[in-house]
Amino acid sequence: MARINIEECWWSDPRRSKLIKLVGDEGLADARAIRMWRLAQEFWKSGRGLVPQDIFETLEDWEALIKSRLADLRDDGIYVRGSSQYLEWTIAEREKRARGGKTSAARPRDANGRLLPAEVQVNSSCDPSEASNVQVSGSVSVSGSSEFEEEEPAAEGRSGKFESAEHLLSSLPALTKDTWVGKHGPEAVADAVSEAFAFWATDVRSRAWGAKEWVSRIGASLKFAKMERAAADSKSAKGGAGDICGVAD
């Protein structure tokens, strides 16, 4: 989901600090950015890179996202900064995997008919514990290795085999599932798994993740969901009066 990587550059991005001040909570700020990037990915191809304003405004704290300069208000819609550099590559990778890893016939060839290197090739052997240095900015950079391999078959038992959130949930340790269900309820767990899968499944490093990493990511989604519910309950208790998190129109 979309998909924004909460990595080193995101933690130090000054716009994250501004967003935290506007929404009043660090976890909520990260959750808002995640949902914004998921929405941007949905409209990247169909909306010429722009999210319709009325749809963007369904995001909680959407004004704060614009005021923190993570998104721009334009005549035809909302542009999420970094989309052109990052989402095109993400979607291309997802479509290639949907074709079973086959390379598009439109890829350029040399004079002898041999395929030329793709503009962006992925080293799926990167250590998933290392930051991929994805910078959330107007010009998003992806680094971590100077050498890239085009394809690597998913090894048996690695999370690259997961095809859906339901498949992922069924593959997690039963004890962990039971703990989550008892603590959060089955619907909250299912939502958290879907959130985590949509957000992280397009990350090329996720092909090397096992259940332990997915448990950690889903736990983070549950934390975000819990904080969002608490914020919504607090707002409801106050009668919903006033501007969202102090952000004026």
Given a cut of 60, is residue 50 above it in pLDDT?
A: yes
Residue 95: in which H helix or E strand, if any? helix 83-98
Pair of tokens at residue 230 = 């608490």
**What tokens appear for 57 in the block?**
């405004």
Residue-wise pLDDT tens digits, 141-188: 333 333 323 333 333 333 345 666 667 767 676 656 666 666 777 777
Return the amino acid letter for 65: L
Give the integer Cα–Cα distance in Å for 167 and 204: 18
The first and second tokens of residue 11, run together, are 């933690």
Using an 8 Å Cβ cutoff, are 71 and 56 in contact? yes
How much is the average pLDDT of 65-72? 90
> Residue 23's pLDDT is what?
92
The predicted structure's pLDDT at residue 105: 54
How far CA 35 is from CA of 89, 185, 205, in Å, comes to 19, 22, 20
Sign for the CA dihedral angle at 136, 141, 146, 147 comes to: positive
As a 3-state breakdown, the chain gives helix, strand, coil percent values, each rounded to 5, of 50, 5, 45
- Would you state the torsion angle of the CA atoms of residues 212, 86, 44, 225, taken in this order, to the nearest 10 degrees? 30
226-236 mean pLDDT:
66
Mean residue pLDDT of the chain comes to 64
Contact 61, 245 (CB under 8 A): yes
Q: How far apart are CA 150 and CA 144, in angstroms?
A: 15
pTM over 0.85: no
- Return the higher-pLDDT residue of 244 and 79: 79
User: Taking 80 as the threshold, does the pLDDT of residue 18 lie above it?
Assistant: yes
d(CA 146, CA 229): 42
Percent of the chain with pLDDT over 70: 34
Question: Residue 78 pLDDT > 50, yes or no?
Answer: yes
A 10 A CB-CB count for 22 gives: 21
Q: Which phi and psi (to 5°) does residue 109 adopt?
A: -125, 160
Range with the poorest average pLDDT among 53-67, 76-90, 110-124: 110-124
> From the CA atom positions of the chain, what is the Rg in Å?
19
Indicate if the alpha-carbon torsion angle 149, 94, 4, 195 is positive or negative.
negative
Is residue 89 within 8 A of residue 143, CB to CB? The reply is no
Give me the percent of the chain exceeding a pLDDT of 90: 6
Tens digits of per-residue pLDDT, 88-139?
Answer: 655 566 666 666 655 555 556 666 666 665 554 444 444 444 333 433 334 3
The pLDDT value given to residue 31: 87
Higher-pLDDT residue of 40, 170: 40
